[in-house]
Amino acid sequence: MIFFGEQDIIAKVSVKASCDGENMDNNYYMGLALAEAQKAFDLGEVPIGAVLVIDDQVIASGHNMRENWHDSTAHAEVIVIREACQKLSRWRLTGATLYVTIEPCPMCAGALVMSRVDKLVYGSPDYKAGAVESLFNIVQHSALNHQLEVTAGVRAEECSHIMKEFFRMRRK
């Protein structure tokens, strides 16, 4: 079910066009996020994976763990932000790019803003809960003290496919 037309989505988010080198990096790191999503899938979790990168180095990676941890906040993005903050001994993740397979929800979008991540790269939109383009645009809201640069649609078909396959299997 699609709640918004393509023109509505384009109007809601300012997406940066990427150069060739950046596209290669985005594809590579999204591949790592997809590998994390597969781990979630294999555990019976909603298959969302994330990777946080600073200066071409993976600082943290993770996937959804809500079901296994019995924790409603155990989304891939939050897990990765927490891990990165611990590894770097700081809460400000300036200079960081977060790659995630699906458009972040309101909680995760807020966490990205509050942790000062510079860039967000995601695969597929989330028409039911997306807080970057589909329902809201938290990460670029002018009332907040930090806005992220956003690149959407990286390996979108693969990111969407793993979600569709997961829910198809769950409904059997």
The CATH number of whichever domain residue 52 belongs to comes to: 3.40.140.10
Is 20 a member of any domain?
A: no
> What per-residue confidence (pLDDT) applies to 170?
87
Is 38 a member of any domain?
A: yes
Is 18 a member of any domain?
A: no
User: Across residues 46-68, what is the average pLDDT?
Assistant: 98
Rounded distance between C-alpha atoms, residue 51 and residue 25, angstroms:
12
| Residue 19, marked binder | no
Q: Give per-residue pLDDT as tens, 114-129.
A: 999 999 999 999 999 9
| Residue 75, marked binder | yes
| Residue 70, marked binder | no
Rounded distance between C-alpha atoms, residue 81 and residue 88, angstroms:
11
Rounded distance between C-alpha atoms, residue 46 and residue 128, angstroms:
14
Is 118 a member of any domain?
A: yes
Is 10 a member of any domain?
A: no
103 is catalytic: no
pLDDT at 5 over 80: no
Q: Please give the residue that has the higher pLDDT: either 42 or 23.
A: 42
Is 12 a member of any domain?
A: no
Catalytic residue among 45, 77, 103, 133: 77
Is 24 a member of any domain?
A: no
| C-alpha 11 chain-centroid distance | 20
> Residue 61 sits in which domain range?
30-170
pLDDT category of residue 28 using cuts at 50, 70 and 90: very high
Is 44 a member of any domain?
A: yes
Domain count, the chain: 1
Return the CA Rg of the chain.
Answer: 15
- pTM assigned to the model: 0.87
